[in-house]
């Protein structure tokens, strides 16, 4: 049974994945049919990019950016489909954890869990409202030109896609199938990552509260409670490892894409004069800056929260316990000295410091491109 889909924490994000057949008891045929339109459009986009590479810099830049975004969407699609069972197990784990905290945890932690749930629902609504506005703008954008244009320009070898009736067919296909598919694959993936990171903060806070509530009235009870906290900490480490496994490749691709595209879009802005292309480039920069910025911000908060466990363990009345309890405290403090960081591609920790480093690197490449263009 897919009971986890009704958990308020996820809002509609998991339901969208289930309806699309990306996770759960889906068939491979359904997933292949869902991927046909993006893949078919992607091939046409590659051909169009080669065809227009020597033409207008504005058109080439926009086509390159859209191809990169489509590539990112396909990467996320393949990751979810390939790790179908791991995604379901991860979501089921959060579902059980969520209900356990509601029933058995400290009122302060339960209140924070409710706040995170409300925050997650607002985050989902904001994301889909923004995506709806972006989709409407993408529908209007082609009609601002005198010649025929697509939402995502495509070219095919055997026929001219801009001639009737091919133009009408492909435009409707992109508007009614491609754009909604892109939104319903890309956005829920981002939302689920952010929600998982916020939930990670809750369980870390729950562990700190459990440590501080350890009583000192009975040595046996004290040792048992502390061992339960060690087991709880092990669950959190497993949670972090599972989350990193599911998003690691996407994180690495997103960093590479963001640093490259930010550099190119800034260079693109310094060359073009068409206000439509300038507004589009600014919108794309803002979108990518928001997505990767908020992801690194939440990942950084999760990492910082994990460092508080050592202080909470030290604040327990370990000095009144036996030698076994003191060894357990030393173990937990030692394990908590290294923050629980998520890494992009298993290499680059998702922290605000690294986010700033990405921005500096992108600006350096932009300055280098500008210097070459002026020579």
Which residues span the domain enclosing 187?
3-374
User: Using one digit for the tens of pLDDT, what is the confidence trace for 199-224?
Assistant: 999 999 999 999 888 877 678 888 88
CB within 8 Å of 142: residues ≥ 6 apart: 148, 149, 150, 151, 171
pLDDT along the chain (375 residues), means of 10: 78 86 77 78 79 67 77 86 89 92 87 92 88 84 81 77 85 85 88 92 92 80 87 93 89 77 75 76 80 90 92 83 84 88 82 86 78 66
- Are the CB atoms for 190 and 197 separated by under 8 Å? no
Rounded CA gap, 201 and 296, in Å?
Answer: 14
CA angle 10, 259, 340 (to 5 degrees): 50
- Number of structural domains the chain divides into: 1
CB within 8 Å of 208: residues ≥ 6 apart: 308, 309, 312
CB within 8 Å of 71: residues ≥ 6 apart: 42, 257
pTM assigned to the model: 0.90
CB within 8 Å of 69: residues ≥ 6 apart: 182, 257
**What integer pLDDT is reported at residue 306 of this predicted model?**
92
Rounded CA gap, 227 and 237, in Å?
Answer: 15
**What integer pLDDT is reported at residue 234 of this predicted model?**
93
Q: What are phi and psi of 120, to 5 degrees?
A: -65, -40
**What integer pLDDT is reported at residue 55 of this predicted model?**
63
Alpha helices in the chain (DSSP H): 13-20, 28-52, 57-82, 84-104, 107-140, 166-173, 179-212, 219-269, 275-306, 308-314, 323-335, 352-374
**What integer pLDDT is reported at residue 43 of this predicted model?**
82
**What integer pLDDT is reported at residue 136 of this predicted model?**
86
Rounded CA gap, 202 and 111, in Å?
Answer: 10
**What integer pLDDT is reported at residue 26 of this predicted model?**
65
Rounded CA gap, 301 and 167, in Å?
Answer: 48
**What integer pLDDT is reported at residue 235 of this predicted model?**
93
- Are the CB atoms for 350 and 344 separated by under 8 Å? yes
**What integer pLDDT is reported at residue 114 of this predicted model?**
92
Give the residue among 154, 141, 151 at the shortest CA–CA distance from 181.
Answer: 151
User: Using one digit for the tens of pLDDT, what is the confidence trace for 136-175?
Assistant: 888 888 888 788 888 877 777 777 888 888 888 888 888 8
């Amino acid at each position: 049974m897919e009971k986890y889909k009704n958990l308020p924490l996820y809002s509609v994000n998991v339901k969208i994945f289930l309806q699309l057949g990306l996770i759960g008891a889906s068939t491979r045929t359904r997933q292949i049919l869902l991927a046909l339109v993006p893949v078919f459009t992607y091939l046409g986009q590659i051909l169009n990019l080669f065809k227009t590479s020597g033409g207008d810099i504005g058109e080439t830049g926009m086509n390159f950016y859209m191809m990169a975004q489509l590539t990112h969407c396909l990467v996320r699609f393949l990751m979810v489909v390939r790790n179908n069972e791991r995604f379901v197990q991860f979501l089921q784990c959060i579902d059980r954890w969520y209900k356990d905290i509601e029933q058995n945890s400290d009122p302060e932690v339960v209140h924070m869990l409710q706040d995170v749930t409300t925050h997650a629902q607002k985050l989902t609504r904001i994301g889909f409202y923004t995506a709806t506005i972006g989709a409407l703008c993408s529908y209007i954008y082609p009609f601002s030109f005198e010649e025929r244009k697509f939402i995502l320009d495509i070219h095919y070898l055997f026929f001219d896609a801009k001639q009737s009736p091919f133009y009408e067919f492909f435009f409707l296909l992109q508007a009614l199938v491609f754009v909604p598919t892109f939104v319903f694959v890309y956005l829920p993936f981002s939302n689920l990552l952010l929600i998982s990171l916020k939930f990670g903060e809750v369980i870390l806070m729950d562990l700190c509260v459990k440590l501080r509530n350890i009583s000192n009235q009975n040595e046996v009870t004290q040792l048992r409670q502390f061992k339960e906290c060690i087991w709880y900490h092990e669950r959190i480490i497993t949670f972090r490892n599972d989350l990193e496994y599911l998003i690691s490749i996407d994180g690495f691709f997103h960093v590479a894409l963001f640093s490259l595209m930010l550099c190119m879009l800034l260079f693109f802005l310094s060359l073009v004069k068409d206000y439509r292309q300038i507004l589009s480039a600014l919108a794309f920069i803002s979108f990518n800056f928001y997505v990767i910025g908020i992801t690194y911000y939440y990942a950084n908060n999760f990492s910082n929260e994990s460092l508080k466990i050592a202080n909470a363990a030290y604040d327990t009345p370990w000095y009144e316990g036996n030698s076994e309890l003191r060894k357990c405290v030393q173990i937990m403090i030692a394990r908590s000295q290294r923050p629980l960081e998520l890494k992009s591609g298993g290499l680059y920790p998702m922290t605000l410091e690294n986010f700033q480093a990405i921005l500096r690197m992108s600006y350096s490449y932009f300055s280098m491109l500008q210097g070459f263009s002026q020579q």
